[in-house]
Amino acid sequence: MIKFHNVSMRYPSGYEALNGVSFALSKGSFYFLTGHSGAGKTSILKLIYRAERPSGGAVLIGGRNVDQLTNKQLPLLRRSIGVIFQDYKLLYDRSVYDNVALAMEVAGQNPDHINGQVLRTLESVGLRDYTHQNPISLSGGEQQRVAIARATVNRPSLVIADEPTGNLDRDMGRRIISLFQTLHKQGTTILLVTHDTDLVKESGHPHIEMVDGEITKMPKSACLMEDS
């Protein structure tokens, strides 16, 4: 599902955020990505949905090199990935419902199907009663769940989330993780960035650890085979 082949990445400022990163996550797996602040976790996610491009090596998603996608293919890749941003990136000029519905409109879904699916998805994250509220009036945990609903409403095969429990108390953090567990059980591949190691241990899912733009620890299952 996700393969990083010796990927390095340099920001325009010249800062080398990633250096020789290699790993492979199989379809339907659930991984955590951990590391100190500035380790390069967000940079890895950005490479996956191609907000950034590698300066060396190759990023393959679903067998395709994301760097070689045409302008027509790129939107299709992005629609297949549900991204939950660290800062949510919700739109505060519209309701919770419209935030979630936008993802379906963007994906060109049949307008007749949007209403039902948006409500079902909001229900599944426990926000059915907040449909017509502006997300600005919601708590951090609630906004996080709007972001999750928006990222999953199109039922993407891959969901990546950047510190989804970062600003939440332990209890809310657990509930958020359980939402991802549910998605995972439905077959969705999940990659969660976090620095909460307790939460990782608790969940029992494998994790990849990063230090200064390099992977320092990962389970064998995530190692990139030489021949692949």
Partner 1 sequence: MNPTPDGFSTRSLGGKKAVSRKGLLSKKTGIIKRPSSVKRIKATSLEGGKDVTISKSFQLRSLQRAWNRFHAGSLSHWTTTIIIALSLTIFGAFTLLLSNANTALEQWTGDNLITVFLEESVTSFQMEEIKNKISKNPGVDQISVVSPAIAMGRMKNMLGSEAGLLDNLVENPLPYSIEFRLNDKEYEKTANLAFQIGSWLGVEAVSYDKQWAEKLAAVIHTFRFIGSVLTLLLLTAVALIISNTIKLTIIARRDEVEVMRFMGATDSFIKTPFIYEGVLQGLLGAVGALLLTTLLYWGADGATTELGSAFGIFIELHYLHYDQLLLIMALGIFLGLAGALISLSRFLEI
Ligand X SMILES: Nc1ncnc2c1ncn2[C@@H]1O[C@H](COP(=O)(O)OP(=O)(O)O)[C@@H](O)[C@H]1O
Per CB under 5 A, residues contacting Mg ion are 42
Q: What residue is closest to ligand X based on CB? A: 42
Neighbours of 61 (CB within 10 A): 21
Per CB under 8 A, 107 contacts partner 1: yes
Q: Which of 2, 7, 17, 125 binds ligand X (CB under 6 A)?
A: 17
Three state DSSP letters for 15-84? CEEEEEEEEEECCCCEEEEEECCCCCHHHHHHHHCCCCCCCEEEEEECCEEHHHCCCCHHHHHHHCEEEE
Q: How far is the CB of 124 from ligand X (least distance, A)?
A: 28
Which residues, numbered 189-228, are part of the site for partner 1 (CB under 8 A)? none
Q: Does 121 bind partner 1 (CB under 8 A)?
A: yes
Of 3, 32, 35, 147, the one binding ligand X by CB under 6 A: 35
CA–CA separation, 189 and 54 (whole Å): 22
> Please, which residue, 79 or 195, has the CB nearer to ligand X?
195
Closest CA to 223 of 62, 83, 23: 23
Of the candidates 79, 66, 83, the one whose C-alpha atom is nearest the C-alpha of residue 108 is: 79
Question: By the criterion CB under 8 A, which residues form the site for partner 1?
Answer: 1, 27-28, 49, 51, 61-64, 71-72, 74-80, 83, 89, 91, 93, 102-103, 105-111, 113, 117, 120-121, 123-126, 128, 150, 152, 154-158, 175, 178-179, 182-183, 185-188
